[in-house]
Structure 1
């Protein structure tokens, strides 16, 4: 019985760590799935939600290429990423909307949502689990 309880606890904890993954990048770019945290350029960045994905599918000729907007939590790397209604009020960090290809300055660094995968192959949007976001971070000038 003790072995079963220990196994269940181990599986439960391993599921939690898989969900709250942190990806560290050695350079100034990192790619992460939705709800995972990228540690890049002195910042923690966690994509929280896809707000808009209106990119034109590769098989369709569009007048407008469309855009991708996401909500992300960003904080300095020495502090945890805090977001949502349960975040402590003393947390340093913030949630903001990022648009593919549009740089923003936060915490003295320029943050860019540089790429979003997968590319849109057919009309419609990918499921949330399919998305991968590439962020680049450099010191602001």
Structure 2
């Protein structure tokens, strides 16, 4: 039988002391334990997620090389022309835009191939009709 229990307290009892449980860190301002930020795990959130894992509780999987996998955001493509913003929402938007660029390029390439193929077909048909008229 599988038992699921929720942790109501982030403070774990230790011998002669209390400290935050694994996956939590102490916040002096709020005087309580808070969950680790995205990309961090362990005691006091002192460890980065290990490749290929990233994100909240290191539960997401990077589908890219280790060099392109950020322990917080996942797969990122470095681009000298793109400047990432300090704000997370703006940064995620930039990352999202970069991920859609290959699709735009594919549409352009396939459109050009289609136009060239159609042009070649019309030229061949034109020459065939010219040859038939001469016979």
TM-score higher than 0.5: no
Q: TM-score, normalised by structure 1?
A: 0.21
- Larger RCO of the pair (alpha carbons < 8 Å, separation 6+): 1
Higher helix share: 2
Bigger Cα Rg: 2
